[in-house]
């Protein structure tokens, strides 16, 4: 469900971005808005759970900077220099890094089925992206995208570790809080283009004749495109493992493609449809391998 909400949020975010708001400013309002809403909710209902020890604080800060800031920032750098599809495939090398970490650093036994699931899911993404149609790859873009995959893997591993000792809601508060602090240092709040909130934004595609105010679309990005999916993903990490969850995240390009076809009339080729089916098979196999991997 987290992948579904993240995928649909891509459509809404695209509407906002094509209306003039920069990707980093959208990230800033996304993280800041989620932090304010979650902090208010947790403070009113579970304020005692916000307490944090000195040993927890560095990990929480790292979790926020990595999972809620670095993942998005590196992705934006990558898509500015590469085709989005190629950048996305490199980002979703995360499951490979996680399994390598489990096997060679943690010395855990990783079942062959999980390796097969990763291979299938990654192969499916390559077919969806049709990377053979791409041009010369920008080295900075490649470095950013591959680093993003490693950072995404760290986010899943840290989330799996921290979610065993903290409530998901408080974990999210600190994650968004540290991410918002980092963004505020780089991009001061007083220079934020507040006129975007009153701007009328076209809905494009099948709904091109309609428009909505900027504040409503941004509110969707904050609540339904950020708070809800992150809560679902972190709760999922409590029930699954980092490796399984990251492989399931590979469903995002497939689901996003379906939403783009419905809303924006973006079509998939026969090869891309095959790739989507292969990704789904890989996810099913990863779920079967989950218990042994754990």
Residue 213 dihedral angles phi and psi, to the nearest 5° = -65, 150
| DSSP string across 35-66 | HHHHHHHHHHHHGGGG---TTHHHHHHHHHII
- Written as six digits, the tokens of 31 are 């993280």
Nearest C-alpha neighbor of 279 from the set 133, 156, 117, 153: 117
Total-model pTM: 0.78
Q: What percent helix, strand, coil does the chain show, rounded to 5?
A: 80, 0, 20
pLDDT at 29: 94
Domain spans of the chain?
2-293
Would you write out the chain's pLDDT as a tens digit for each of its 294 residues? 998 898 888 888 888 888 888 888 988 999 999 999 999 988 888 788 888 888 889 999 999 999 889 988 888 788 767 766 667 777 877 888 888 888 888 888 888 888 888 888 888 878 877 767 765 567 888 888 889 989 988 998 998 888 888 888 888 899 999 999 999 998 999 999 999 999 999 998 889 899 999 999 999 999 999 899 988 988 887 788 777 787 777 777 778 778 878 887 777 788 878 987 888 788 778 767 755 545
- Give Cα 188 to chain centroid, integer Å: 24
H-helix or E-strand spanning residue 202: strand 200-202
Q: Which residue has the tokens 């009153």?
A: 198
H-helix or E-strand spanning residue 100: helix 94-100
pLDDT at 32: 95
CA atoms within 13 A on the CB side of 159: 32
- Written as six digits, the tokens of 21 are 């708001």
């Amino acid at each position: 469900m987290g992948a579904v909400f993240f995928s649909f949020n891509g459509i809404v975010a695209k509407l906002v971005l094509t209306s003039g708001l920069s990707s980093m400013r959208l990230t800033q309002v996304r993280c800041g808005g989620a932090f304010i809403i979650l902090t208010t909710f947790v403070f009113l209902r579970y304020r005692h759970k916000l307490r944090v020890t000195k040993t927890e604080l560095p990990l929480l800060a790292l979790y926020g900077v990595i999972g809620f800031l670095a993942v998005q920032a590196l992705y934006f750098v990558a898509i500015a220099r590469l085709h989005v599809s190629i950048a996305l495939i490199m980002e979703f090398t995360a499951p490979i890094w996680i399994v390598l970490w489990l096997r060679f650093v943690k010395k855990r036994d990783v079942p062959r089925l999980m390796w097969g699931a990763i291979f299938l899911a990654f192969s499916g993404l390559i077919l969806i992206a049709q990377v053979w149609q791409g041009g010369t790859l920008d080295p900075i873009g490649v470095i950013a995208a591959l680093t993003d995959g490693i950072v995404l893997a760290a986010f899943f591993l840290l989330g799996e570790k921290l979610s065993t000792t903290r409530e998901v809601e408080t974990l999210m508060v600190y994650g968004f809080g540290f991410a918002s602090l980092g963004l505020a240092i780089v991009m001061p709040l007083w220079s934020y283009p507040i006129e975007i909130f009153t701007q009328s934004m076209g809905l494009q595609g099948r709904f091109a004749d309609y428009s909505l105010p900027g504040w409503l679309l941004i509110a969707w990005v904050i609540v339904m495109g950020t708070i809800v999916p992150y809560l679902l993903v972190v709760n999922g990490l409590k029930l699954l493992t980092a490796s399984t969850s990251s492989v399931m995240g590979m469903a995002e390009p497939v689901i996003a493609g379906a939403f783009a076809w419905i809303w924006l009339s973006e079509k998939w080729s026969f090869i891309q449809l095959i790739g989507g089916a292969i990704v789904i098979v890989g996810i099913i196999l990863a779920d079967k391998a989950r218990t042994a991997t754990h």
